[in-house]
Amino acid sequence: MDLLFKVRRSELLACSIFTGRDPESKGIQKAKEIGIRTSVNSIQAILDEPDICEIVFDTTSAKAHAIHAPILKKLGKFVIDLTPSRFGKMCVPVIDLEDGLHSENINMVTCGGQAIAPLAKALMEIHPEIEYIELVAAISSKSAGSGTRANIDEYTQTTKDAIEYYSGVPRAKALIILNPAEPPIRMHNTMYAEITNPKLEEIIRKVAEVAAHIKKYVPGYTLALEPTYENGRLTIMVEVEGQGDYLPAYSGNLDIITSAAVRVAEEYARKKYE
């Protein structure tokens, strides 16, 4: 639903159908209310009417995407997968938007991956000798939907793998914490790296630069703690506040991944109709 609001706001995209499974779901109800065509036949709705769209955003679950992906491929759709399925090519727009567009199925990694992989990559460019990077992503329980919960294992593994893949660090580790506190916490990411003699000024400058790039498509992306060195480890903290499109502002974890997905879709549309 948050994605739908972002698509509607886009000058390059239009939503032709919003599908789900449960006619009573809040998402379907809300979409109807704002005049969007809906269906409760999930992917069948696209099979029934293949010309209805060019781009498909899949926000189901990793398991479901494994079934959807080959179907959509046959239909020749450009697929942006927001589950941690790992089916398509991983994409973090600030790093590899261009590469992503060459593929027909793009995986948006995870919110933690979107938030931290670019910083890990920046750090490794300055200090290629780093051997270990760790990410702690804390998100509010309220913003972790049933999909995230059912896929917690894929979510954790994919986040870790994305940090290794994008930064080249030999070993990464991702910790995911669901925090039930009320009022809900904003998405909070802490990145640690083990390092001796960090070039702190260069790191601070580079990290600020990358953060500013991300902020262009994720306005709520903020450095909560600029790179800080103590006890042989470098710590960086990032908070992500949602834009409050549909979900409340604490859901920064969803905002960052839907924003990244829309960024990819817009670029695809721009390239296609240029």
Partner 1 sequence: MNKPIFFDSTLRDGSHVVRHQISIETITEYCKMIDGSGVYAVIVGHGNGLGASTLQVGRSLHSDLEMISAARAALHETKLGAFMLPGFGTIKDDLAPALDAGVDLVCVGVHCTEADVTQQYIEYVTGRGKEAIGVLMMYHRAPKERLLEEAKKMQSYGARAVILMDSAGSSTVDMVRQTVEYLVRHLQIPVGFHAHNNLSMAVANSFVALESGATIIDGTTRGFGAGAGNCQLEAVVALLQKNGIDAGVELYKLLDAGEKVLKPIMTKPQGIDPVSIVSGLAGVFSGFAPHVKRAAEEFGVDPRDIFMELGRRNVVAGQEDIIVDVAVELAKRQTQNV
On the question of a cis peptide bond just before residue 248, with omega within 30 degrees of 0, the verdict is: no
Catalytic residue of the set 15, 53, 91, 111: 111
Tokens at 55, concatenated: 């781009």
Minimum distance between the CB of residue 176 and partner 1, rounded to whole angstroms?
4
**Nearer Cβ to partner 1, position 110 or 243?**
110
Nearest-10 crossing angle of helices 200-217, 252-273: 70
Contact flag: residue 141 with partner 1 (CB under 8 A) = yes
CA 72/CA 85 separation, integer angstroms:
15
Question: Does residue 150 contact residue 103 with C-beta atoms inside 8 Å?
Answer: no
Residue 179 Cα distances to 59, 77, 138, angstroms: 22, 37, 7
User: Which position among 9, 26, 37, 149 is part of the footprint of partner 1 (CB under 8 A)?
Assistant: 149
Check if 91 is active-site.
no
Contact flag: residue 136 with partner 1 (CB under 8 A) = yes
Contact flag: residue 226 with partner 1 (CB under 8 A) = no
Contact flag: residue 229 with partner 1 (CB under 8 A) = no
Residue span binding partner 1 (CB under 8 A) among the ranges 30-38, 90-98, 169-177, 248-256: 169-177
Rounded-to-10 torsion of CA 258, 263, 264, 265 = 90
Residues that bind partner 1 (CB under 8 A): 134, 136, 138, 141, 146, 149-153, 156-157, 160, 173, 175-182, 188, 190, 192, 194, 233, 237
